[in-house]
Structure 1
Amino acid sequence: MHKQLIFLVILTSLLSFTVNAKKVTGYLPNHSFSDHIVTPETHLGFELGERHIRHDQLVRYMEKVASQSERVQLTDIGFTQEMRRQILVTISSPENLKKLPTLLAQKNKGDTSGDPIVVWLGYSVHGDEISGANASLAVAYHLAASQDKSIDEMLADTIIVLEPSLNPDGMDRFTTWVNTHRGTAPNADPNHIEHHQDWRTGRTNHFGFDLNRDWLLLSQKESRNRISYFHQYQPHVLGDFHEMGANSTFFFQPGIPTRTHPLTPKRNTELTQLLATFHSAALDAENRLYYSQESFDDFYYGKGSTYPDINGGIGILFEQASSRGYQQQSINGLLTFEYGVKNQVLTSLSTINGAWKNKETFRKYRAKFYNDAMKAAENEKINGYLISEANDSQRLTHFLEKLALHQIDIYPLTEDFRAGKKTYKKASSFYVPLAQKQYRVIQALFSQGTNFQDNTFYDVSGWTMPLAMDIDFIPLARTRGLDVAKTTWQPQNVEVEMPDKSAYAYAFEWHHMYSAKLLNKLLTLGVKARVATKKFSSIINGQTHNFKAGTIVIPAGIQTGTQWRDQVAKYSQSTGIEIFNIATGLTIEGIDLGSRSMHALTPVKPLLVGGKGSSQYEAAELRYYLDDMLNIPLTVVEQARLPRLNFASYSHIFLVDGNYNALSKKTVERLKRWLSNGGTIFAQKRAAKWLADKEILQVKLVDKEEINALFSIDGLRYQDKERLSARKRIAGAIFQSELDLSHPLTYGFSNDTLPMFKNSTLIMDTVDTAFNIVAKHTPTPLLSGYTDKNLVNKIARSPALVAHNVGRGRVIATPNVFAFRGYWLGSARLLSNSLFFAKAFSASAN
């Protein structure tokens, strides 16, 4: 009896785990499968739907299948920030795989009628939408092991590319969370901790970026690793598999037709609808609920389901209701993980089947897409774009590299070119012609549309890349006199001369993208530096060189130790920043090197307030810019830990958008004392509003009632509710600002205008003194994207960046976002300026 009791307990425990799991064949059509290909459950030791797999388990299974099947090839495409492998699994007939390099090379020369069609299936770009990654195991097994004749026929004409996990770091963060908090007995209560992740969710990658917004921007390593392979394979169809709220069902595109970007051909939507008939048939056969032509949109090209739309393919978004764990009660009944996995499998196979059965249609579409692109380019009123950045070659190179990753041809100028009243120097200017294969990608990156058929946006409406990176660009209607190189631009290594070891002082200019990286490294090593708060001129190599305010000066006479010159040389080389040798402290014009206008700089130790209540996305952007790009350590402390924190250990505190009302009165008072004693606070969006409410920031803001009063509701009906809501929202648009170039926070900027990104209706109304306004929006500020004219008029002339004293400290604030999605390198420089030059200015709050 005792042994029987133990057996029953064990059996009951096993049943509680496996009640919603299935063998792989339970997810697949009724085919005969080869015994030579290992099943997922045999390899893993558990069935699909029983547990959330880890990324290493997923990779090992794909490796095993590739080793057992002639139909499968595994390719490593790079590593994530946390050193997890990114892989592609290519599946086709053995004959196609043997000649894959040749087939891909032929595709780069143009579609051939006999080429196999390419279907790319990408899973779980949001790591906590993990049913897709689990489904990839079943799809790979099916294609590798099925002995059905239809599979052989399909693979002869089709190359299938599986990206089993687009976000390995986020996937494992989520898997660890769920597996940590699951119980022995399944818990379907939506309030259970298993279904509610911590502040850093598995949705995002290591730094906290949404990788499904990065296909166009390419700020993150995972996206850059993938993009060259995408362009090698040139998929005709791409499936992008996601999850949504538990109370939904299943969504597949097309979505709302009017919310498609005008650069996408109408035929794209028609072909998406053609494939939708295959998805509906697969789901109908199993009586599964779904919907289409609602919600979402195909406007922003930075998503996995939209980037193919400007690259000759058809991108399709799939959204499965998420159990966000193993099971969860929903309005449709008990939603299990297994159920979601099967929906993803069904629509993966329907995508492949629909593409294969219409292969000639998709081949012809792709060929016509690029023929039409060349015709459209010829009919444009402009021939191309001239781009230039005379001061910061590092930021310019960063921009050019992004264009090149998108397979855009860029040509260096071989002679100076005059357009209007400006001469574009050949050393810092480049031409991007429209008449090339990537015409639509170029227009997507450079265009500045502000009026659209449907003004309701799921994501941002403006993302013009040269504006984001503060790169000068103009459309050229005429190219007479424009001399460009015959070969396209290629990145080159930049070498700088070693500094003179006997110089009286060294100097480097602040306009370089990595100037803050160099300065921080030197200050951390104990090198003493000054920032010139006024301009000066010195003789450099026999010539007069004019140094602007913001130049960093390193006098030899105040240094200690014996290695400091070597350190300056080493890190100027690694950052690619030129060091100027200054022979005397007496300048030929402007302040001398011993002037009190040479402001002493000190090492910085910034802190970012994170945790529940703070935007994980804006925190990620700040962390990525300071930590990854500038190598400045950034301490992240959750709001809940602030009461126990010694603020005196930190020089700066960064507050991103969020809700800070949970901070106690005592904590706020401690923060105020730290600030008055010499600290610096930088705040953006609602954090700025919170500071104003606490009377720390002396700014008045436009309240919600004022925003509502801008919009009349007379004559509106219930059906107008969504449209009105869209008018009151700024999903993401670009606005022009005017800089006070005399202010230390604008050191390094050469133009007095700067594009800024805005994705909220937070508007600063008035500031007590003009000297506190570092930047303000221009009278006609909208540059790109949609914003209702009432809001545009309210934003016009309003402050965009303010800064003032609080005792011996400083507070700096903006209603905008300065480092949005890791590619806003123009305004991001205001963050590094706030780090190093906050004490270089003094402005009373009243």
Structure 2
Amino acid sequence: MKKPLKSISAFLILFFISTGAFAQLQSPEEFLGYELGDRYTPHHRVLSYVTHVAENSDLVTIHKYGETYELRELVYLVVTSEENHSNIEEIRLNNLKLTGLEEGEATDNQKAITWLSYNVHGNETNSSEAAMKTLYELVDPSNRESKAWLNDSVVIIDPMINPDGRDRYVNWFNGMIGTEYNPNPIARELNEPWPGGRSNHYYFDMNRDWAWQTQVETQQRIAVYQQWMPHVHVDFHEMGYNSPYYFAPAAKPYHNVITDWQTEFQTTIGKNHTKYFDENSWLYYTREVFDLFYPSYGDTWPTYNGAIGMTYEKAGGGSAGAAVLTQEGDTLTLKDRLTHHHVAGISTIEVTAVNAERVVSEFTNYFNNAANDPAGAYKSFVIKADNNPDKVHHLLTFLDSQKIRYGTAGSNRNTNAYNFKTGENERVSISEDDIVVSVYQPQGQLARVFFEPNPELADSLTYDITTWEAHYRFGLDGFALESNINPEENISPDDYRNSEVSGADEPYAYVTDWDSMDDARFLAEITQKGVKSRFSKVDFEIEGQIFKKGSLIILRGNNAHLEDSFDEIVRAAADNHSRDLFGASTGFVTSGSDFGSNNVSYIEKPEVAVLMGEGTSSLSAGEVWHYFDQQLRYPTTLIDTDDFMRADLSDYNSLVLPSGFYNGVLTDSAIEKISSWVRSGGNLILIGNANRSFTSRNGFQLTQKQVESSEPTTEELLASYGERSRRSISTTTSGSAYEVTLDTTHPLAFGYDEEYYTLKLSANSYSYLDDGWNIGTVRENAYRSGFVGEEATSQIENSLSYGVQDYGSGQVVYMIENPLFRGFWENGKLMVANSIFFVGN
């Protein structure tokens, strides 16, 4: 009886093996059918492989955390020992308890957590290939060393942060190659077309979005990150193919919230890497170029959240393809690149696990010190209660996304403080309802980063913008105090939102304020649904209600075509966007202009075209696209620059040109086409560097400001070659905040106070318009925050920021500064809506 059973068992084993019923863990090469580095692996196959590993290894679990704009799946993997997996929720919650962000006492089951993020830039493609290699090495049954590391640590792997950008690049590259790769830098396959694969669907650089969270991929990823709060975070990148490899420690300047331990352990990690790189004679460098200051990188934002945040950069990028000849005559291959990233990733896991106890202890100290003994001069930040409630709502929503706590002041007091509006230290009054953010909290360091008036720069040679202060960013009045105020009453963002309909039930007109992007979203929605609206160009009072310039007036008589659905559409949109509506029973005002006056302008439905393609900045084009598509939610037609000359502009009443250099695009014939369209009534909106292409051409009045340069001093003439970079920055600003004085009687500035704070991205400045409307101007002593070179100050002062020129029957809107930059400068966005809905009407 036993012999037949044995035969049956043998048969079943052979059957299961041959049919795959007993699946086995496969290496990437076995699973994919080619050696990593031989070709690019598209997103769906990377996803298939990491899913395979999770299904066939007890050391891995896979978790979907979201989808991209193009509906590609986003996942992360948790890699650790079987024992740790059995207690993984305890480990995770313990870690949050150590931060103070989760209530309760942590048990002794504490593990170091290392998070590896791959492919945030889509055309820096080797890192997702390296992620598969690293994942397999960690779980390979024959690798005893990795099993020891996984006993002491948890490794989280996000194999592809930006699938949309990566697939854009990979699919393009695979369509360009022949039977063999061509490493000649001039080869077609090494010169990707606009917009390139670096950015996501909306052409946003997601490595600048970690803090601001404007993109759906970032929003979903950060929510998961905050569920774990890792101790070490690595963001994998690529740079120019003639550079070798960059790893920690980072370059200066460091933001002054960064602790000695964070800088010390960066060095420890970097030295561990050198052990492997030296063994293989691989070139590398540290402490140059990539600093730790701007808060929205994949190294800085984790650092300000207590982690050891690092960027690793390998030679390559979109211009390296699968193989490229370097300046030394060597061929840099995709296999080389992924191998170096793989080794650096494994080294990071190793050194973190070896130092696990200290890593966890110092991480705990970071949050304890923040809550109990915070560094920095300022101990609390105040947002005045009488600010625009929509702006307060959005600030508090942002603070919630960062896990930063706040409350009300609780009592009235007078004190000395830095006044963000004046830029001066002075005596101020704080009321009981004012909102307070104290740095005595777990995320106190992060609060400092977002609110400090002018964070100290140890070195002015920095990699990015140098200001992002929250009061200026959201357009809010408030103070920074060197004394602490403990917030009292708990509040929430929704406390500052209303949706109340008052006045007549079936009014002559609905009236609502205009002073935030929420009002613009309301107008965008009802306009798309066929509602016709007007806006007042003067302040007015009606039936006891006071309204400012820009307020919307939605007349029943103008909307008879909607019949019974008129009230429903308007009221539903008001509810959607938390807008107050006043139902006026008459068009006769107490003061101001009656609703039939020429001072109450009809809003022609905007038909908007946006120019994008070669010649435009893909980032700026993406900012405009995202603004209309995702923020304002108003339709546009995107016209490729290659198609511009055959486009019929008469179909549109507004044309937006994003920032860019427009080389070969805005030819004389193209400028004449635009000029003719504007003269016939078009509304041309120029953003950032797009203004350059119109200076002193075809009757456009804009001119660049000229500042007399002084003769160089003997000291300057004899300055050393090594100081050349430092000398050059004296004429620049890398992103600073300036007060702009607004002419609030012009529709472009409706909804704003007379003071607006702009993000100045360049010292390139323009003169006031001789025969136009100088609506936003930078006057003397207007600087507020961020680095500005000494010689750049005179260039920026007394210059134009926003202007409008009447041009025939149309208008030209000059937006010298880009209010949509990276989608995070919230207070500038209403001006773009004004340019679309109000200017020219």
TM-score by length of 1: 0.90
Cα gap change, 1:479 to 1:285, in 2 (>3 Å): closer
1:277 alignment partner AA: K
The question of whether the paired residues in 2 share the 8 Å contact of 1:503 and 1:582 is answered with: yes
The question of whether the paired residues in 2 share the 8 Å contact of 1:75 and 1:89 is answered with: yes
Cα gap change, 1:551 to 1:424, in 2 (>3 Å): farther
Deviation at 1:584, TM superposition (A): 1.0
SS of equivalent residue, structure 1 residue 826: helix
Of residues 405, 429, 435, the one that matches 1:430 is 435
Q: Which runs of structure 2 are paired with 1:145-224 in the superposition (5 Å)?
A: 145-224=140-219
Aligned-residue Cα RMSD (Å) equals 2.4
**Structure 1, residues 703-733: CA drift from partner, whole Å, max 9, x if none?**
5985998998332121111111222332211
Partner of 1:116: 111
SS of equivalent residue, structure 2 residue 655: strand
Of residues 672, 680, 684, the one that matches 2:683 is 680
Deviation at 1:96, TM superposition (A): 1.1
Cα gap change, 1:35 to 1:269, in 2 (>3 Å): farther
2:333 alignment partner AA: T
SS of equivalent residue, structure 1 residue 828: helix
SS of equivalent residue, structure 2 residue 237: strand
The question of whether the paired residues in 1 share the 8 Å contact of 2:541 and 2:589 is answered with: yes
| 1:697 is the counterpart of 2:691 | no
Deviation at 1:413, TM superposition (A): 5.4
Partner of 1:518: 522
Q: Distance in 1 between matches of 2:26 and 2:497?
A: 51
Cα gap change, 1:517 to 1:417, in 2 (>3 Å): farther
Partner of 1:302: 296
Cα gap change, 1:463 to 1:509, in 2 (>3 Å): same
2:463 alignment partner AA: Y
Q: Distance in 2 between matches of 1:501 and 1:193?
A: 66
| 1:335 is the counterpart of 2:339 | no
2:167 alignment partner AA: D
Of residues 440, 445, 450, the one that matches 1:440 is 445
Partner of 2:606: 604
Q: Distance in 1 between matches of 2:559 and 2:208?
A: 46
1:496 alignment partner AA: S
The question of whether the paired residues in 2 share the 8 Å contact of 1:409 and 1:488 is answered with: no
2:82 alignment partner AA: P
Cα gap change, 1:460 to 1:570, in 2 (>3 Å): same
**Structure 1, residues 775-809: CA drift from partner, whole Å, max 9, x if none?**
11132122221011221232122221111200111
Partner of 1:613: 615
The question of whether the paired residues in 1 share the 8 Å contact of 2:139 and 2:146 is answered with: no
**Structure 1, residues 279-299: CA drift from partner, whole Å, max 9, x if none?**
111222222222222222122
1:247 alignment partner AA: N
Partner of 1:590: 592
**Structure 1, residues 98-130: CA drift from partner, whole Å, max 9, x if none?**
221111111122176651101111111101101
Q: Distance in 2 between matches of 1:330 and 1:664?
A: 36
**Structure 1, residues 521-564: CA drift from partner, whole Å, max 9, x if none?**
3223332211111111112xxxx110111011011122232122
Q: Distance in 2 between matches of 1:135 and 1:271?
A: 24
Q: Distance in 1 between matches of 2:243 and 2:376?
A: 43
Deviation at 1:404, TM superposition (A): 1.4
Deviation at 1:392, TM superposition (A): 3.9
Q: Which runs of structure 2 are paired with 1:631-650 in the superposition (5 Å)?
A: 631-650=633-652
Partner of 2:19: none
The question of whether the paired residues in 2 share the 8 Å contact of 1:504 and 1:556 is answered with: yes
**Structure 1, residues 557-603: CA drift from partner, whole Å, max 9, x if none?**
22232122221122222222122111111112221111121111111
2:450 alignment partner AA: L
1:340 alignment partner AA: R
| 1:143 is the counterpart of 2:138 | yes
Partner of 2:9: none
* Stretch moving more, 711-720 or 685-694: 711-720
* Stretch moving more, 730-739 or 560-569: 560-569
SS of equivalent residue, structure 1 residue 585: coil
Of residues 87, 103, 108, the one that matches 2:91 is 103
The question of whether the paired residues in 1 share the 8 Å contact of 2:764 and 2:796 is answered with: no
SS of equivalent residue, structure 2 residue 157: strand
**Structure 1, residues 652-672: CA drift from partner, whole Å, max 9, x if none?**
111222223423322211111
Partner of 2:507: 503
Partner of 1:55: 43
Q: Distance in 2 between matches of 1:586 and 1:707?
A: 61
**Structure 1, residues 797-822: CA drift from partner, whole Å, max 9, x if none?**
22211112001110111321111111
2:370 alignment partner AA: A
The question of whether the paired residues in 2 share the 8 Å contact of 1:615 and 1:658 is answered with: yes
SS of equivalent residue, structure 2 residue 147: helix
2:602 alignment partner AA: A
SS of equivalent residue, structure 2 residue 818: coil
Partner of 1:384: 380
Partner of 2:805: 804
The question of whether the paired residues in 2 share the 8 Å contact of 1:710 and 1:790 is answered with: no
1:514 alignment partner AA: D
The question of whether the paired residues in 2 share the 8 Å contact of 1:698 and 1:768 is answered with: yes
1:306 alignment partner AA: T
Of residues 527, 533, 546, the one that matches 1:529 is 533
Deviation at 1:238, TM superposition (A): 1.1
Partner of 2:759: 757
Q: Which runs of structure 2 are paired with 1:830-841 in the superposition (5 Å)?
A: 830-840=831-841
Of residues 398, 401, 405, the one that matches 1:402 is 398
Q: Distance in 1 between matches of 2:511 and 2:714?
A: 54
Of residues 353, 373, 377, the one that matches 2:350 is 353
Cα gap change, 1:495 to 1:85, in 2 (>3 Å): farther
The question of whether the paired residues in 2 share the 8 Å contact of 1:120 and 1:161 is answered with: yes
Q: Which runs of structure 2 are paired with 1:33-72 in the superposition (5 Å)?
A: 36-72=24-60
SS of equivalent residue, structure 1 residue 766: coil
**Structure 1, residues 45-92: CA drift from partner, whole Å, max 9, x if none?**
333112211212212211121111111011111222122221110100
Q: Which runs of structure 2 are paired with 1:762-773 in the superposition (5 Å)?
A: 762-769=764-771, 772-773=773-774
Partner of 1:819: 820
Q: Distance in 2 between matches of 1:704 and 1:125?
A: 41
1:384 alignment partner AA: S
Deviation at 1:158, TM superposition (A): 0.5
Q: Distance in 1 between matches of 2:94 and 2:642?
A: 58
Cα gap change, 1:670 to 1:447, in 2 (>3 Å): same
TM-score by length of 2: 0.90
SS of equivalent residue, structure 2 residue 782: strand
| 1:781 is the counterpart of 2:782 | yes
The question of whether the paired residues in 1 share the 8 Å contact of 2:438 and 2:487 is answered with: no
SS of equivalent residue, structure 2 residue 767: strand
The question of whether the paired residues in 2 share the 8 Å contact of 1:455 and 1:786 is answered with: yes
> What is the percentage of aligned positions where both structures have the same residue?
26
Deviation at 1:423, TM superposition (A): 6.2
1:403 alignment partner AA: L
Of residues 293, 299, 306, the one that matches 2:287 is 293
Partner of 1:459: 464
Of residues 264, 267, 282, the one that matches 1:270 is 264
Q: Which runs of structure 2 are paired with 1:699-778 in the superposition (5 Å)?
A: 699-703=702-706, 706=709, 713-749=716-752, 751-769=753-771, 772-778=773-779
Q: Distance in 2 between matches of 1:416 and 1:564?
A: 46
1:602 alignment partner AA: E
Deviation at 1:451, TM superposition (A): 5.5
5+ residue gaps, structure 2, are 1-21, 100-105, 416-426
SS of equivalent residue, structure 1 residue 367: helix
Count how many residue pairs are aligned between Structure 1 and Structure 2: 795
SS of equivalent residue, structure 1 residue 713: helix
The question of whether the paired residues in 1 share the 8 Å contact of 2:437 and 2:487 is answered with: no
Q: Distance in 2 between matches of 1:557 and 1:439?
A: 54
Q: Distance in 2 between matches of 1:309 and 1:195?
A: 34
**Structure 1, residues 328-384: CA drift from partner, whole Å, max 9, x if none?**
11124111111111111111101101111122332232133233334542x655431
Cα gap change, 1:390 to 1:195, in 2 (>3 Å): farther
Partner of 1:84: 72
Q: Distance in 1 between matches of 2:706 and 2:175?
A: 43
